[in-house]
Amino acid sequence: MSPGSDPEPFWALRGGGGDFALVTAVEFDLYPAPTVYGGRMMWPNECTPEVFEAFLELTAQAPPELSIWVSRLRFPQAPPVVVLDAAYLGDAEEGRALLSRLDEIDGAITDRRGVVAVSDLGDITAGPGASGPSLSRVELLTGLDDLAAGILRAVSAEQKELVAELDEYVSGRKPYGFLAPGDSAATAFPERTLTRLRELKRARDPRDVFRADFPVLG
């Protein structure tokens, strides 16, 4: 299958979920491994306002090569912390300069910034080596201004309560790969795209042989 031989199914497979085909093999090109600079920084919870402020400043003018994400975490039997993870696709000195704003925040518990092998990118977020049970909820926000950031800093609540606090910023859309129980494919796609996916599903798989966790016809 290719864009030339099967343009519609190929389009659907690129983000439309598992309703359309079973992929048995993939061909892809290899590129030279780039240099990546990044790592995780962690501060005590009381540094949250400063970390969020730095996050807003950095992301407001970050180049496409720089990815930054901030999290508030509470590990078992430990006080809450605020964490910032970063990855810069480029020269280490350039990455260090781009993230220098973070050096102004005192009290870091850990600072693991450095040159990272592409094969070790997943280690930046210190994810578990094996999968385990978890509970998550994703919402796409229309923006992250000072007010929204303040809500995220201040609210310590259940997921529904937090979403309610952010109501005016919630877009009503979610990435398909982050749908959770209670969501549907209609949450992930604009109406025009969903209609196109449904028409393709009915035409190519009328007996519903291929079934996604969140079917486009659901």
**In the predicted model, what is the mean pLDDT of the chain?**
88
Query: What pLDDT was estimated at residue 145?
Result: 80
Q: Are strands 114-116 and 36-44 parallel, antiparallel or unpaired?
A: antiparallel
Any domain includes 160: no
Query: What pLDDT was estimated at residue 161?
Result: 81
CA proximity to 103, closest of 41, 18, 164, 56 = 41
Any domain includes 90: yes
Give the pLDDT band of residue 134 (cuts 50, 70, 90). Answer: low
Angle at which helix 48-60 crosses helix 146-154, to 10 degrees, equals 150
CATH value at residue 82: 3.40.462.20
Sign of the CA dihedral running 191, 197, 202, 203: positive
Any domain includes 171: no
Q: Is the pTM above the cut of 0.75?
A: no
Q: What is the C-alpha separation between 82 and 74, in angstroms, rounded?
A: 9
Any domain includes 12: no
Burial of residue 183 (CB within 10 Å: 0-12, 13-18, 19+) is middle
Total domains present in the chain: 1
Q: What is the C-alpha separation between 97 and 151, in angstroms, rounded?
A: 29
Any domain includes 72: yes
Any domain includes 61: yes
Any domain includes 188: no
Domain that holds residue 105: 34-116
Average pLDDT (38-43) is: 96
Any domain includes 87: yes
Average pLDDT (15-21) is: 88
Give the pLDDT band of residue 96 (cuts 50, 70, 90). Answer: very high
Q: Which two tokens stand for residue 154?
A: 């201040």
